Every structure is written in structure tokens, then in C-alpha cells.
């Protein structure tokens, strides 16, 4: 059967049109990856040279899967000649090939976020700046944003608007830190992730011959997840595509959720302005979810103004309505959701891998972890410390990095005294002082103390010399031995393997560290074996692969059966038969920090759309009436997003009486101000209208009836306040109240327990 016959009509048209600017808007679950893959296969079948194709993805995993599929369709090895990978992977290769033009060695190291923050901390300390005001994460975020917008250190310090922002935030020295950081990275022969895009733009801007070369080489460009591109990525693609304009972008504006990483939804919304003669194809058939889930998601996302209009539909079964569960406390929420998973597992016998709990922020995972553990339900939290960020793995990788690039100062600082060699912190600081004084690297200093004197005693210098000699011996083998052979040699010769095995405690954590090192070596062996027969894969090749892994690629896959716990951001691109979206409360989801502008709120709504469309068979939304925040029980209001779902796709349920009670061991109780335990009641019937779910009888209903705009009230937590706005009436009545010390708060009057005061 022809590969084209496997496509629906919309997919087929998008695949067959391979020339000119093209935008494919792919709704959730509509077969986006299939279209992208088959489009490339169709190019090859129509005699387009694979060497002229550039395909950009957002994960290495996606690129490998696409390449494998193309090979199956077309046969032979032609797919291997396509330049395919993530933005960072593809452009790092271009930079290595042209590194000398921009003042870097071809073996430059790629710093991860941890490395960058470590260097920034050192710069802050060296310049005697307040590390509480100049937090490394804040400074790094500011530098990252500048690079993503192609703002150089010189432009940063010369831009009065940027300088004003920094002065207003009481961080006027960020520009200077940025300049020193950039110089130190270059001196160490290192780039961070943002540099890979920043310097590619510099290369294409400053060297017309390089731009011309890649315009002729990449005559056909395909970009996946185009809605997630930032300004730097957008500009690179636009420059390379300018010669032939055979550019195809695939994405879904309704799933643009990464503005905090610099992604700009305008890149996809304004595609038609960049290419007025573009062709637009819409993939609107959802193959993933039931009708109720698809229509529920549609009814929410249609409220966004900034979007490309489409109507996602499905031929799948109508399925269950989206279930809305109200609980009384956040602890009860964890127990109720865990019980629902347990019951569904018993009745329907799916595997635990079929279940996912999605939340807005990582801190929400605690109550679900506790409840799942009590029911002996296996689970895994995604988005924690990745395999390659574990200490023992980072230590070994630092030795590998030094073998490839001994100028890498972050790797050098990490392992010069690990395992311990009696090279103290003061000695390391004195090496840094000497390097800064003479304008050289730490590596230059420790190899030539005579030319670059440092305040270090002779015995310590001898130990440092031994360390440098060992690193030099590793470097001498980098292109002679395959990655596994040299990795095994370094692991043993450095003393790390002995250090881990000699650990006298040998508790579970120590055993796991040894197992992790063994797994790393096994992975390197697999990497070596995956090469062609005549190709030796070196340790430098492996390190380049590891440095370019995305968050998704770095997750350590486990075969055991488990419920997945993750943020909604981390769930993008995944699907599960049974999804639980939890914590659907105002100021949590949508986030309180995203309510300042329409664009922020619309991104939160897109995030909710992503959460709904992860579900295949059932989707449950939960919220709580009371949540502990900073040790205080705070009353919560249901998220506006629940109200935005058409009622015909929703069913409201209350946990069976006694279910939460038996799990909590003492009734539905929560600590209230003053140490009193006030019982909360669960008497909301099933299918109650949403606007009534969050209400609870007030002790002062007569007072509530007297409240008007301008009324002065007293709240037990926020103190005195004035009513500035009233909405609705009766049990649904809400008031916006201004509290001098807490700002404006929106409260449901039947729940707020307000007292009217005079004056």
C-alpha cells in the first residue's frame, strides 16, 4: 500500500505540496508528526536531494523517530543524509565547523544551566556583590533573555531602557556581570545553550559567504512546533530560507505555552506576513481523544482572541463527560484522586502507566505522593533531577569534558579535588585570582606556575601537577580510543570508581550511585555500538550528544509500571488514557502571576487546553475549597477555566461520604486561625451547577445581604477592607475587596465570613 494511502485527505494535501512557503496548523492529536515525516519521505520519492533538506525539531527523540520512519518508507540509507535534529544540535555542528571565525575552538564545551549559574555565582562573589540581590538564577535568566533577543553585552550596557529596568530592580550591575560572563565563557572555550543560537545568528550576520553556503545547502526547510520558537530561532530560519522560500512550518498556536523560555507566539501568527504567498493547511481531525474531551477543549480555547481559527473534531466514541471533583482541602484532593486511580485500576485493569496527574507547579506533587504511597500505587515524578544531573554522573562527565577541552573551567573546578587530593578551596581560589590577573585560563596557570605565579605551597603544586598530567594523558587518547574504552579508563584512573566502591556506609543511596555509573558506561557502550562499521565514535562525540539532550531526552526511562506525575508544561507531546488535572483554582491555575495582561491569561488558557488534550478516554478536573499556603489555610475559588467549558461536556461529582474521612483518620478537618479545628461539610449533590460548588453556609448571611459597594468590612485573615465591586447575587454573590496591606481580593460572600464595621 502506498504511504499516501495511510493519510486522511487533509494530511495528504499537506504532504504532497512540497514547494513554497507552507504552514500546517495541526490540532491536538491530529497526526502532526506523521505529516512532517511523510512530507519528507514524499520529497525523497520526488528526487529531492536529502542533502538539501533541513528538518528542525524540539527533541532529539522526535528527530530519531522521524528518521527511522522515513527509512522504513523509502528504504535504503537516504534518510541518514538529511540534516535533522534539534535547533541546538544542528547549529552546534555548524558552529563547530566555523568556530574559528567567531573566536572559539572547534572542541568548545557546552555549559548546562548548572554550569552557567556556578560561573555567575563566582563572578558575583569576585565582584563583592550581594548574592541575595544578585541571585544567580535571576541574573542567568536576564542574560538568557538578552541572548534570545540577540542583545550583546555591549548592546545591553548601552541600552538606556534595559539599564533603567536593572536600576529599578536594584540590580544595576547585571550588564557588567553579563560582559564578564561572556568573556569567561569564551576564555574557557565554552558556550551555553543560548550561545548556540546567538552565535549562529552572529555567524550568518557577519559572514555572508557562510550564509550563502547554507542557503544553497538547505533549499528545503521544515520546522516542527513552530509556535515554540523564539526570536533567535525565527531569525536563523528566516535568513537561511530567504533564497528559495521552500519553508514548511508545522505547529499549533493553541499549544504555545513556553513564553517564559522566550517562545514567541507571533512567529506562527505572523507567518503570513513574512510569506504573503504562503499556503495554509489545517489538520483538524483528532485521533486521540473522545468527543466529550475534544469538544470541552474546543469550548475553552475559542475564548482566546489571538489565534488561527480552526475547529478540531473527532470520529472517536463520545466517551465519558469531563468530571469535576470538588474537595475540601488539598490533602483530601490527593487522597480522593489516588482513590479514583486505585478504583479504576481494579475495575478496568489498565496498567498504572495509563494514568497521569498533571499540575500547574511542582510543589503540588506532595499530597499526591503521600496518598499514592499509602495505597501502594507506584508513581514517578517527571521533571526532577535528570540522570545526567546526578552528582556522581556530573563528576565523571566533568573528567570527560576536561579530556576533550582542558580549558573548561567549570569542569576543572568541580573535579580538581575530587576524589580528594588535598587541593584546598583556598588554593583553587588563588589559581582563579592568578588566571584573572594574567588574563589566562586556570588550565594555563596549573600547567605553568612559573609564568603565572599563584600563592600556593610547593606540596600542593606537586599534587596539582599530578592532576594536570593525568588530564593531559586522557586528552592524548581522545581521538585514539573509542568512547567506551576511554570512558572506562578515566572512570578507573581518576579514582571515582574506587571512591564509590570504598564507601563504608554502602546504604541504598551509595549502591544507587554505583549502579548509575555502571548504567552510564553501559549507555556509552551502546553509543559506540550504534555507529557505522567504519566509524569510531569518540568520547568527544558522546559528550556532544549528552550536552545537547533536551529535558525530555534526559528523563531516565523505567520499565516498571507507574502513575506519571508532572507539570502540564512537561506533559506537552504526551498522551494518557486517564488524566487528572488538579489544583484548578483561581490564582493557582490560572496563576496569579499571569493575570496582568490578556496575553498572559491567554497563555494560561492554552496551557489548560494542553492539559485537557493529553487525555484519551477520561479526564478529571479537581479543585479544593481550602489550601494550605505558607502554613495558613486559604479559602479557594474554582478556576474560571472550569466555567469556560460548555456544561454539556461536564459532570460534577462529590467524593462518597466517608471515603476521605477514613483516609484522613479524623474527619474533614483543617487548622484554622487561632488553633481551632473547624469541621468542613461535604453535602454538595452530584451535578450541582459549578457556581454553587464552592459555597458553604456563612455564619453571617444577614450581614452579607447588607454589604454594598463602599461598605467597610473585617476579614479574619486580611483585616479591615472596603468593598469596591459586587458581582452576581444570592449564594453566588462575589465581592472585590481592597485591603490596605494585602491589595484587592475577590471573595465569595457566602464563604468569606465578613463582618460589617463602621467607618
Summarised one tens digit per residue, pLDDT across range 319-360 is 999 999 999 989 899 999 999 999 999 888 678 999 999 999
Q: Where are the beta strands (DSSP E) in 375-418?
A: 379-381
The side-by-side arrangement of strands in the sheet containing 22-26 is: 83-86, 53-57, 220-223, 247-251, 22-26, 279-283
So what's the pLDDT on residue 405?
95
For the cut 60, the answer to whether the pLDDT of residue 90 exceeds it is: yes
Paired with 720 in beta bridges are 714
CA atoms within 13 A on the CB side of 351: 7
pLDDT tens, position by position, 534-583: 678 899 989 988 888 766 665 554 556 899 999 999 999 899 999 999 99
pLDDT surpassing 80 at residue 406? yes
For 51-104, give the DSSP string: GGEEEEES-HHHHHHHHHHHHHHH-TTGGGGSEEEEHHHHHHHHHHHTGGGGT-
What distances in angstroms separate CA 299 from CA 304, 507, 614, one per listed residue?
Answer: 10, 53, 16
- CA–CA gap between residue 324 and residue 688 (Å, rounded): 10
Mapped onto helix, strand or coil, the DSSP state of residue 477 is: coil
- pLDDT tens, residue by residue, 270-317: 999 999 999 999 999 999 999 999 999 999 999 999 899 899 999 999
Identify each DSSP E strand in 473-610 by its residue range: 563-567, 576-581
Nearest to 194 by CA among 116, 94, 288: 116
Sorting pLDDT into bands at 50, 70 and 90, what band is 502? confident
CA distance 210 to 393: 37
* Cα 501 to Cα 197: distance, rounded to the nearest angstrom: 41
Confidence of residue 4 (pLDDT cuts 50, 70, 90): confident
Three cell numbers written together for 346: 481494579
Mean pLDDT across 52-81:
86
> pLDDT tens, 410-423?
999 999 999 999 99
Neighbour tally for 141: CB within 10 Å: 13
DSSP state of 361: S
Distance (Å, rounded) from C-alpha 412 to C-alpha 401? 9
Q: Are 320 and 618 in contact (CB under 8 A)?
A: yes
Higher-pLDDT residue of 108 and 720 is 108
* Cα–Cα distance, 201 to 114 (Å, whole number): 24
Higher pLDDT, 653 or 292: 292
pLDDT digits (tens, 9 = 90+) for 665-713: 322 222 222 332 333 233 332 332 323 223 333 334 456 778 888 888 8
Among 77-91, 237-251, 287-301, 522-536, which is the least confidently predicted range? 522-536
What are phi and psi for residue 53, nearest 5 degrees?
-110, 130
Residue 664, pLDDT > 50, answer: no
pLDDT above 50 for 378 = yes
* pLDDT at residue number 153: 96
Cα gap 665→247, rounded to integer Å: 61
Phi and psi at residue 666, to the nearest 5°: -165, 25
Q: Is 696 in a helix, a strand, or coil?
A: coil
Q: Distance between CA atoms of 653 and 277, rounded to whole angstroms?
A: 51
Instruction: Give me the half-sphere count of Cα atoms (radius 13 Å) on the Cβ side of residue 380.
Output: 16
Q: What is the DSSP letter of 305?
A: S
pLDDT tens per residue, range 606-622: 999 999 999 999 999 99
| Residue-level pLDDT at 212 | 97
- Residue 616 in contact with residue 290, Cβ under 8 Å? yes
Phi, psi of 310 (to 5 degrees): -160, 160
pLDDT of residue 656 exceeding 60, the answer is: no
Sign, CA torsion 479/482/487/489: negative
Is 743 strand, coil or helix? strand
Contacts of 463 (CB under 8 A, 6+ apart): 421, 422, 423
Q: Is the pLDDT of residue 660 over 50?
A: no
Measured on CA atoms in the order 745, 747, 749, 752, is the torsion positive or negative? negative
Per-residue exposure over 115-125, b if at least 16 CB sit within 10 Å of its own CB, e if not: bbbbbbbbbbe
Q: Which residues are catalytic?
A: 32-33, 224-225, 255, 614
Q: Is the pLDDT of residue 734 over 70?
A: yes
CB 238 within 8 Å of CB 226 = no
Does a cis peptide bond (omega within 30 degrees of 0) precede residue 590?
Answer: yes
φ, ψ at 609 (rounded to 5°): -60, -45
- ω into 419 cis (within 30 of 0): yes
Q: Say which residue, 8 or 731, is predicted with more confidence.
A: 8
- Asked if residue 225 lies in contact with residue 258, where contact means CB atoms within 8 angstroms, the answer is no
- Rounded to whole angstroms, how far apart are CA atoms 21 and 157? 38
Q: Which of 139-148, 365-374, 385-394, 546-555 has the lowest mean pLDDT?
A: 546-555
Mean pLDDT for the chain overall: 86
Three-state SS for 579?
A: strand
Residues 741, 722: Cα–Cα separation, whole Å? 12
Residue range 648-676: mean pLDDT, rounded: 48
pLDDT at residue number 631: 63
pLDDT score, position 634: 82
User: pLDDT digits over 109-131, tens only?
Assistant: 999 999 999 999 999 999 999 99
Mean pLDDT of 622-633: 81
- Work out the number of other CB atoms within 10 angstroms of the CB of residue 132: 6
Nearest alpha-carbon partner for 552 in 580, 572, 529? 572
Amino acid at each position: 500500500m502506498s504511504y499516501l494511502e495511510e493519510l486522511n485527505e487533509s494530511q495528504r494535501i499537506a504532504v504532497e505540496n512540497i514547494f513554497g512557503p507552507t504552514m500546517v496548523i495541526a490540532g491536538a492529536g491530529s497526526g502532526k508528526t506523521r505529516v512532517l515525516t511523510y512530507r519528507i519521505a514524499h520529497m525523497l520519492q520526488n528526487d529531492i536531494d536529502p542533502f538539501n533538506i533541513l528538518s528542525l525539531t524540539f527533541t532529539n527523540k522526535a528527530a530519531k523517530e522521524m528518521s527511522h520512519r522515513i527509512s522504513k518508507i523509502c528504504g535504503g540509507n537516504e534518510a541518514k543524509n538529511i540534516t535533522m535534529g534539534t535547533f541546538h544540535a544542528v547549529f552546534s555542528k555548524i558552529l563547530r565547523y566555523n568556530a574559528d571565525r567567531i573566536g572559539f575552538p572547534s572542541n568548545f564545551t557546552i555549559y548546562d544551566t548548572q554550569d552557567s549559574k556556578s560561573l555567575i555565582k563566582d563572578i558575583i562573589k569576585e565582584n563583592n556583590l550581594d548574592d541575595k540581590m544578585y541571585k544567580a538564577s535571576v541574573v542567568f535568566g536576564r542574560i538568557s533573555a538578552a541572548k534570545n533577543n540577540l542583545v550583546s553585552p555591549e548592546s545591553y550596557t548601552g541600552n538606556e531602557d534595559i539599564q533603567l529596568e536593572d536600576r529599578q530592580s536594584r540590580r544595576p550591575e547585571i550588564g557588567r556581570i553579563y560582559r564578564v560572563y561572556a568573556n569567561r565563557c569564551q576564555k574557557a572555550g565554552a558556550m551555553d545553550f543560548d550561545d548556540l543560537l546567538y552565535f549562529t545568528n552572529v555567524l550568518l550576520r557577519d559572514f555572508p559567504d557562510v550564509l550563502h553556503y547554507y542557503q544553497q545547502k538547505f533549499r528545503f526547510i521544515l520546522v516542527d512546533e513552530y509556535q515554540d520558537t523564539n526570536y533567535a530561532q525565527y531569525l536563523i530560519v528566516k535568513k537561511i530560507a530567504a533564497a528559495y522560500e521552500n519553508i514548511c512550518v508545522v505547529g499549533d498556536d493553541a499549544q504555545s505555552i513556553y513564553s517564559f523560555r522566550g517562545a514567541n507566539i507571533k512567529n506562527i501568527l505572523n507567518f503570513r506576513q513574512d510569506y504573503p504567498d504562503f499556503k495554509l493547511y489545517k489538520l483538524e481531525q483528532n485521533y486521540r481523544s473522545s468527543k466529550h474531551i475534544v469538544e470541552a477543549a474546543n469550548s475553552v480555547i475559542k475564548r482566546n482572541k489571538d489565534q488561527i481559527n480552526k475547529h478540531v473534531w473527532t470520529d472517536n466514541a463520545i466517551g465519558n463527560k469531563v468530571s469535576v471533583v470538588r474537595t475540601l482541602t488539598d490533602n483530601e484532593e490527593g487522597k480522593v484522586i489516588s482513590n479514583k486511580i486505585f478504583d479504576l485500576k481494579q475495575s478496568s485493569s489498565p496498567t498504572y502507566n495509563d494514568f497521569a496527574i498533571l499540575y500547574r507547579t511542582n510543589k503540588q506533587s506532595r499530597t499526591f505522593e503521600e496518598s499514592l504511597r499509602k495505597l501502594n500505587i507506584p508513581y514517578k515524578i517527571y521533571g526532577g533531577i535528570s540522570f545526567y544531573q546526578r552528582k556522581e554522573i556530573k563528576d565523571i562527565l566533568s573528567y570527560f569534558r576536561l579530556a576533550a577541552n582542558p580549558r573548561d573551567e567549570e569542569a576543572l573546578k568541580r573535579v580538581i579535588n575530587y576524589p580528594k587530593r588535598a587541593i584546598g578551596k583556598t588554593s583553587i581560589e588563588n589559581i582563579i585570582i592568578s588566571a584573572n590577573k594574567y588574563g589566562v585560563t586556570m588550565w594555563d596557570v596549573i600547567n605553568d606556575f612559573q609564568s603565572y605565579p599563584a600563592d600556593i605551597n610547593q606540596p600542593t603544586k606537586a599534587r596539582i601537577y599530578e592532576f594536570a598530567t593525568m588530564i593531559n594523558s586522557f586528552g592524548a587518547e581522545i581521538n585514539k580510543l573509542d568512547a567506551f574504552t576511554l570512558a572506562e579508563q578515566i572512570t578507573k584512573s581518576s579514582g571515582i570508581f574506587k571512591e564509590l566502591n570504598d564507601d563504608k556506609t554502602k546504604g541504598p543511596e551509595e549502591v544507587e550511585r554505583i549502579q548509575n555509573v555502571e548504567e552510564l558506561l553501559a549507555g556509552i557502550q551502546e553509543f559506540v555500538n550504534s555507529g557505522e562499521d567504519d566509524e569510531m565514535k569518540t568520547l568527544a562525540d558522546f559528550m556532544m550528544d549528552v550536552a545537547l539532550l533536551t529535558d525530555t531526552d534526559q528523563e531516565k526511562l523505567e520499565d516498571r509500571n507507574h502513575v506519571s506525575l508532572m507539570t502540564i508544561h512537561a506533559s506537552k507531546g504526551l498522551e494518557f488514557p486517564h488524566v487528572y488535572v488538579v489544583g484548578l483554582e483561581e490564582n493557582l491555575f490560572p496563576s496569579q502571576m499571569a493575570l496582568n495582561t490578556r496575553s498572559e491569561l491567554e497563555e494560561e488558557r492554552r496551557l489548560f487546553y494542553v492539559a485537557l488534550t493529553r487525555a484519551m478516554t477520561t479526564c478529571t478536573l479537581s479543585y479544593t475549597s481550602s489550601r494550605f499556603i505558607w502554613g495558613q489555610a486559604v479559602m479557594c475559588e474554582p478556576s474560571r477555566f472550569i466555567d469556560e467549558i460548555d456544561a454539556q461536556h461536564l459532570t460534577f461529582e462529590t467524593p462518597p461520604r466517608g471515603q476521605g474521612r477514613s483516609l484522613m483518620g479524623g474527619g474533614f478537618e483543617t487548622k484554622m486561625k487561632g488553633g481551632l479545628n473547624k469541621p468542613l461539610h461535604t453535602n454538595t449533590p452530584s451535578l450541582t451547577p459549578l457556581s454553587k460548588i464552592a459555597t458553604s453556609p456563612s455564619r453571617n448571611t444577614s450581614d452579607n445581604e447588607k454589604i454594598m459597594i463602599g461598605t467597610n468590612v473585617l476579614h479574619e485573615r486580611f483585616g479591615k477592607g472596603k468593598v469596591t465591586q459586587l458581582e452576581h447575587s444570592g449564594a453566588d454573590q462575589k465581592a472585590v475587596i481592597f485591603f490596605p496591606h494585602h491589595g484587592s481580593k475577590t471573595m465569595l460572600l457566602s464563604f468569606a465570613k465578613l463582618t460589617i464595621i463602621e467607618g
